[in-house]
Structure 1
């Protein structure tokens, strides 16, 4: 019999055995197919989301041949892709650099071209709730040259001077819809929304589109009438150009346009670039090209390696169980003349059959899943697929990996099956095997060694050592899993029947339990590591964030003195529109008007808090010796010093209440309660008595503070000198103050609250500026639009500020990792439970025979699933902390280096556990696995025939 004949028979036997044991075969196919499905979906999604050169061009220039842009900086040179441009710097035969002025961009177009303009301007428009700021683009969206750059979703393109199109995010944020009207408040013109458009490369953009001349021209006319100017970026114009038929826009045309200062992105040039010798910029700078060689993503390699590991870990026990279930058949094969080689071929044939089936099913399911989830993926990525890219070679490679891995998973069971004696195979005896005592000890040593390497890599700043040490530590922990599972079996002595049997079954059959626990551990470890790192970085960002206002407050401020006269009316509008929880706390701006002559203006003089000299009043992180001090400080010591009142002087944000750096405001006790959150009757009595309240004690000396009045302009400033003739005088006053506790030094925007009668006594000028409110929550977009609209109805001239915090991080990636880990946990636990059920059928029959009720089967399956899931998740959580801690140590070393160079830079690098993610993985996922396993297990026993 030839080799091929033997393998053909082995494959036939394996196929028939797989068809006879459909349940077990389905489990193996599913375990191979699921990782293949994930890698396929990841690969297709990555290729589809990553735009090609042609798709990038389309998103930029639509279906036009080129985009012409005036760089407004004289003659330039560019690369063929239009991404890099340089101003002429002493180039021979270069045209002279212009002193400014408009460039006739049309003159640079090739003869016979057709072009349309594209201009954008920031504007203030009305919404369903009020008013909001947005961007308006003037471009003829109905033109064919725009296709691919801007596409119509529903409705109609705008035509004429009174119509606009909007993106879906803009309509959702503003509460408008097709058919609604909106008014551009800058010009007073009203427009009808006729359609919804989208930017395929930027789905989250909030933009309005109008025909050329519909918005900017009437705005300009109104601005000319009111003697105002448009925003600085409202005048630039880009051109989409369609070149002569069959010619397009060539490289010589691009070079000629560069001489006029016009940057050109040409489809023909990008797709067929000229040789480097014809590109002046590259001829003089050969290394300037930004084209980088393609490098396979490390993340993609990691994902594929993880998928292979999971297949081997989970499919291997499945093949081992299959081999045990077929041991009588394999024994008969031996009695008929088959040797060990033939038995191995049969088991390996099962790996090929089931591996091939799982690989093909995984690739097909991955393509189907990506197609079904394409809209959701596009919304998450914020861009459309150019096309559903299905690279055949990569998909074939993924399928081959699944096939080969299925074969690898069957190698160990094949060797074990071939070594069994014929007597054991025919009688069904398994024999007795003792667990290795060397492997757990070796695993513990390897785990400790790997953790030490990872931590050393973190301290030394070597990320390669961190990655290598983490992998080694995880492999060492993997070797300890059989002992851990065996120890769990001893914990079941005092438990009820079902959990006791589940723990003992897991301990007795470590060959299928340990790999499943390892697979769960591998998936959970990566998720916990990334989640811990992200949570730690988030805590670091929150610590370093300098708030603009006190949390839970909003501040209403006026733009000028004339607007301040409408403060009572505007205040009512704010109180109607926002969820305020208290009355208003008014504040007034104060300035040193007494130092100017009778021709003074509001911004004539300013106040300055003079900080006393001495070590106690200076921040040691600034000035002489700061770097040496920073080199001796630990991160915690530096953190404490950074939060001291002396160092907070330069860290607290200013400008919310005053226009100078003094952060002095005129107010009463209401501001203490509403904004400062200083609940001290003594402070309120001090203000009522005319004594200022100082929030940062570093400015106080012997209970007094020094206030200096100075001019805001230099005596050499001729323009201001004409407005304020006369000699600039300064005054210095010492005031007795109430000094607040040191923690109030971090109050954003305020250093001292000055009573109105004290300001009047000092000869200072004040005017009503705004009000502060305590609110239930940070205002939403709709509330902001509503209050902005109410303010405009009241005459405008005010703006509302609130403290929104450092901003929430995007948890989408973390959510995907958690879902991935949860899916692997559920899958591994379910497959192990199925294998346990198939492998322990005799034990279940025995339980039934001795009087166990039918529900025991359900409880037993549930607890078997719970044991695998919970053990794997707990070990994975512990394993994931090693790389997370090591990576944060790298961040700490980098922060300490920066701190020593810049002493005011924070070196605070915390390690924060993501308790929500850990709780979801440790508690919710195992419980869900156990409940699902119990729910899908039949409680009734089927009649069993006695073997033989």
Structure 2
């Protein structure tokens, strides 16, 4: 019999066996299809979400041939893509350049439409919101791809607008709602909802050219109380009108006139470097480099490494069970003259058949799920896909990988089946084999080697060594899993019946349990690695973040002296509309001059106030001196961090502009400011303020509990009385004040160095004016609350701002962490459930015996639940430990880079923390295993069907 004939018979036997045992075959197919599905969906999503240059260009210029804009610099030279340009002379123009006559620059016969934006406030269903209004003929075909209509219709006249869906949602509006531009008083109707495919979260309004800016300007010219519109520089979308497009010669001609051009034809077919004038004077621009974030690199390293292991591990136990279930059939094959190679071929044929079905099913379902969940994925990504990008070669490789997975998973069971004697196969005896002691010892050594390699890669800055060491370490853990599973059987001696049987069953059938645990471990390890790296990076970002206000506070500020007179009404509005918890602190600003407007004072018109910082140890930051680099080279990251947090150095991380630059972060306040804003609950400090003693928050400015306050008194030309009393140059005064010095931790208080009592400011001859109020709030204002407050303040006369501290979490999206946790959870539940199903199929005789000896029906349910729980919990705990290896090593790489940068820039932080994502770990380690156990128990039949007697 030829080899081909033998394999054809083996495949036919394998196909019939798969059809005969449909349940077990379905489990095997699911094992193989699960990783193939995930890799397929990830590949299609990654390729589709990665916008091509053509898609990025369409997002900028729509369907137009080019976009023109006035550079405002006169003649320029530009790169073909328009992202980089400079003046033709190479020098920045010193005077204002007259605007470009765009109509004269466009190619002959071209058609153009203008695009111009202006910031404005508009009414909403809640109140008033600040937004950007763009004048653009959105219905023009040239705009397709830049703006797409989702609902309703485009504007039909100057009284209509369209809005993005994000704006409508935040404003509580819908198609057909009316809005009023408060700055001009004009009313408009929202006729449609649009979206920007490149930015789904944009909150904007669109109107036809001439609908907003022109009437607003006309009203401002007529009524001086109306603010003047300040539109951005106009851009023009241009259609070449029958020509082949706008070529490089057209671009160069426009550059001579001072216009910047982004051309579709030039972007798709860029000219050679020899024809680009900018590269002749700046050849370095030719070598453009792209950078990936650390999180992206970590994701690629860990996901690729862990996914390959997972694909190889998932299907092994299913074939081991299948081979045992078919051992009588394999024994009959031996009695008919079949040799061991033919027995192995039958088992491998099962792997080939089921692997092929699983691979095809995985690719198909992965594609289907990507299509179904595409809108959700696009919303997470923040932009639309140009289309689903399917690369047949990559999908074929993924399918072949699934097929190879089936063969690899069936390889070990095939070897075992080929070694079994015909007598053992026909009688159903499994035999007794001692577990190898070499494998766990080797695994422990490999684990230690992998950890050492990963750590060395982290300390040496090599991501490749980190990836390699992490994979080696995980392979070492895999080799130790059979011993770990064996130990589990000894832990259940004093447990009730069901968990004791589940642990012993897992230990007795290590060939089935160990690969399933390994599969769960691989999925969890990758997710924990990325989640740990991202959590650590976010903690680093939080540390580097400079807050504008203390946590849990908002700031109501007056824009000028006139508005300051209406502060009581504004305070009432804030207290009525926001989640104020009762704490309020009123502050005033001090200045040393006269006739000083809050925002529009002439240079030095407010005078200056300065806290003079003493010199010497404890006052001067060592990292800001001449020998700072030498000092930084000797410091560890923790020592550098501790030094940067001292009061002498902490000014680097303290906001200086929240309450005004001119006062050197000195504010007028009372004890309420300590409680509400500074969070300094100290009766001694409150008593000091009441007695007229300033409270100093940064002790580096104090010397023997005293500070030096330097004031420069200047007088505006409008202040004739002040000029008459103090003619000549500005008057300078220096005062030594006794202060109450707060503890060092209060030096980081944003915007405040010293709190000055009102009576002390008057004694020093300083001018003061109410600036606003600080409130403690239960939560940051929502969009609706912000809009209500803005409307009420505008109705009361305006002139106030409500500032909230968004915190380091602004703009942070935890979707990636959620997806990773869900992915690991699905794989964990799936692998544990499939393993439980295989255990039931493999132990059907034992379950029948249990029923025969009088075990209650619920034992089957609880046994299945605990079997599933054992696999899931063991895999999750091992995966968490394995995932920490690459995460810690990658953070060591980041630490090395941060230390090198810190030694060149001593004032830059080298803080590189390692933070565990406890929420994700808790969900995986507790919730997911319990869910898997409960589901397994719920879907298990409590009563067993009567078995037919053999023979």
Tell me if both proteins adopt one fold, taking TM over 0.5 as the criterion: yes
Closer, same or farther in 2 for the Cα pair 1:702/1:159, shift >3 Å? same
**Preserved CA contact (<8 Å) 1:68 1:238:** yes
Closer, same or farther in 2 for the Cα pair 1:453/1:500, shift >3 Å? same
Other structure's SS at 2:100 match: coil
Among residues 194, 198, 204, which one is paired with 1:197 in the alignment? 194
Query: Is 1:123 the equivalent of 2:120?
Result: yes
Q: Distance in 2 between matches of 1:694 and 1:56?
A: 53
Bigger drift between 785-794 and 297-306 goes to 297-306
Q: What TM-score do the two structures reach when normalised by structure 1?
A: 0.93
Query: Is 1:925 the equivalent of 2:922?
Result: no
Q: Distance in 2 between matches of 1:227 and 1:600?
A: 22
Q: Distance in 2 between matches of 1:317 and 1:274?
A: 59
Query: Is 1:213 the equivalent of 2:210?
Result: yes
1:603-662: CA deviations, max 9, x gaps? 331211122333232222221333333333333333332222222234321232334252
Closer, same or farther in 2 for the Cα pair 1:396/1:558, shift >3 Å? same
1:141-192: CA deviations, max 9, x gaps? 1112212211111112113222211001011111122222222233232222
1:720-769: CA deviations, max 9, x gaps? 99999622220111222222333322222222222222222221111111
1:288-313: CA deviations, max 9, x gaps? 55788999999668656644533432
**Preserved CA contact (<8 Å) 1:37 1:366:** yes
Other structure's SS at 2:471 match: helix
Structure 2 counterparts to residues 171-186 of structure 1, below 5 A: 171-186=168-183
Measured after TM superposition, the shift of residue 521 of structure 1 is 0.9
Closer, same or farther in 2 for the Cα pair 1:741/1:270, shift >3 Å? closer
Structure 2 counterparts to residues 303-318 of structure 1, below 5 A: 303=303, 306-318=306-318
Other structure's SS at 2:820 match: helix
Query: Is 1:682 the equivalent of 2:702?
Result: no
**Preserved CA contact (<8 Å) 1:573 1:790:** yes
Q: Distance in 2 between matches of 1:76 and 1:800?
A: 42
**Preserved CA contact (<8 Å) 2:155 2:191:** yes
Closer, same or farther in 2 for the Cα pair 1:291/1:331, shift >3 Å? farther
Structure 2 counterparts to residues 415-494 of structure 1, below 5 A: 415-494=415-494
Q: Distance in 1 between matches of 2:700 and 2:850?
A: 79
Q: Which residue of 2 aligns with 1:646?
A: 648
Q: Which residue of 2 aligns with 1:941?
A: 944
Q: Distance in 1 between matches of 2:802 and 2:835?
A: 59
Closer, same or farther in 2 for the Cα pair 1:678/1:54, shift >3 Å? closer
Measured after TM superposition, the shift of residue 230 of structure 1 is 8.2
Bigger drift between 45-54 and 914-923 goes to 45-54
Among residues 739, 756, 759, which one is paired with 1:757 in the alignment? 759
Q: Distance in 2 between matches of 1:838 and 1:459?
A: 49
Structure 2 counterparts to residues 875-894 of structure 1, below 5 A: 875-894=878-897
Measured after TM superposition, the shift of residue 539 of structure 1 is 2.2
**Preserved CA contact (<8 Å) 1:276 1:282:** yes
Bigger drift between 463-472 and 430-439 goes to 463-472
Q: Which residue of 1 aligns with 2:259?
A: 262
Q: Which residue of 2 aligns with 1:814?
A: 817
**Preserved CA contact (<8 Å) 1:552 1:778:** yes
Q: Which residue of 2 aligns with 1:389?
A: 389
Q: Distance in 1 between matches of 2:947 and 2:267?
A: 72
Q: Which residue of 2 aligns with 1:250?
A: 247
Q: Which residue of 2 aligns with 1:631?
A: 633
Query: Is 1:133 the equivalent of 2:130?
Result: yes
Bigger drift between 30-39 and 121-130 goes to 121-130
Unaligned 5+ segments in structure 2 are none
Bigger drift between 765-774 and 870-879 goes to 765-774
**Preserved CA contact (<8 Å) 2:298 2:890:** no
Query: Is 1:899 the equivalent of 2:902?
Result: yes
Q: Which residue of 1 aligns with 2:792?
A: 790
Q: Which residue of 1 aligns with 2:581?
A: 581
1:579-615: CA deviations, max 9, x gaps? 212253221111113899xx99993312111223332
Among residues 733, 750, 754, which one is paired with 1:748 in the alignment? 750
Bigger drift between 435-444 and 64-73 goes to 64-73
Measured after TM superposition, the shift of residue 945 of structure 1 is 2.7
Q: What TM-score do the two structures reach when normalised by structure 2?
A: 0.93
Bigger drift between 273-282 and 450-459 goes to 273-282
Measured after TM superposition, the shift of residue 561 of structure 1 is 1.2
Q: Which residue of 2 aligns with 1:826?
A: 829
Query: Is 1:146 the equivalent of 2:143?
Result: yes
Q: Distance in 1 between matches of 2:167 and 2:725?
A: 46
Structure 2 counterparts to residues 793-804 of structure 1, below 5 A: 793-804=795-806
Q: Which residue of 2 aligns with 1:234?
A: 231
Other structure's SS at 2:257 match: coil
Query: Is 1:860 the equivalent of 2:863?
Result: yes
Q: Which residue of 1 aligns with 2:40?
A: 40
Measured after TM superposition, the shift of residue 79 of structure 1 is 4.1
**Preserved CA contact (<8 Å) 1:35 1:311:** yes
**Preserved CA contact (<8 Å) 1:311 1:406:** no
Bigger drift between 304-313 and 356-365 goes to 304-313
Closer, same or farther in 2 for the Cα pair 1:909/1:49, shift >3 Å? closer
Q: Distance in 1 between matches of 2:661 and 2:12?
A: 86
Bigger drift between 662-671 and 329-338 goes to 662-671
Other structure's SS at 2:653 match: coil
Measured after TM superposition, the shift of residue 494 of structure 1 is 0.9
Closer, same or farther in 2 for the Cα pair 1:559/1:233, shift >3 Å? closer
Q: Distance in 2 between matches of 1:293 and 1:140?
A: 35
Q: Distance in 2 between matches of 1:677 and 1:532?
A: 32
Q: Which residue of 2 aligns with 1:355?
A: 355
**Preserved CA contact (<8 Å) 2:836 2:936:** yes
Q: Which residue of 2 aligns with 1:77?
A: 77
Q: Distance in 2 between matches of 1:520 and 1:436?
A: 23
Structure 2 counterparts to residues 511-590 of structure 1, below 5 A: 511-582=511-582, 584-590=584-590
Closer, same or farther in 2 for the Cα pair 1:294/1:664, shift >3 Å? closer
Closer, same or farther in 2 for the Cα pair 1:404/1:613, shift >3 Å? closer
Other structure's SS at 1:493 match: coil
Bigger drift between 485-494 and 680-689 goes to 680-689
Please tell me the root mean square deviation across aligned C-alpha atoms, in Å: 3.0
**Preserved CA contact (<8 Å) 2:502 2:867:** yes
Q: Which residue of 2 aligns with 1:769?
A: 771
Q: Which residue of 1 aligns with 2:64?
A: 64
Q: Which residue of 1 aligns with 2:607?
A: 605
Closer, same or farther in 2 for the Cα pair 1:540/1:305, shift >3 Å? closer
Q: Distance in 2 between matches of 1:272 and 1:690?
A: 73
Bigger drift between 204-213 and 45-54 goes to 45-54
Measured after TM superposition, the shift of residue 257 of structure 1 is 2.0
Structure 2 counterparts to residues 375-386 of structure 1, below 5 A: 375-386=375-386
Structure 2 counterparts to residues 267-306 of structure 1, below 5 A: 267-274=264-271, 278-281=275-278, 288=285, 303=303, 306=306
Q: Distance in 1 between matches of 2:464 and 2:301?
A: 15
**Preserved CA contact (<8 Å) 2:453 2:466:** yes
**Preserved CA contact (<8 Å) 1:825 1:869:** yes
Closer, same or farther in 2 for the Cα pair 1:564/1:471, shift >3 Å? same
Closer, same or farther in 2 for the Cα pair 1:380/1:601, shift >3 Å? closer
Q: Distance in 1 between matches of 2:730 and 2:682?
A: 40
Other structure's SS at 2:244 match: coil
**Preserved CA contact (<8 Å) 2:606 2:662:** no
**Preserved CA contact (<8 Å) 1:593 1:600:** no
Other structure's SS at 1:831 match: helix
Q: Distance in 2 between matches of 1:511 and 1:237?
A: 70
Bigger drift between 630-639 and 463-472 goes to 630-639
Other structure's SS at 2:260 match: strand
Q: Distance in 2 between matches of 1:132 and 1:687?
A: 39
Other structure's SS at 2:493 match: helix
**Preserved CA contact (<8 Å) 2:589 2:663:** no
Other structure's SS at 2:856 match: coil
Q: Distance in 1 between matches of 2:741 and 2:248?
A: 71
Q: Distance in 2 between matches of 1:33 and 1:760?
A: 79
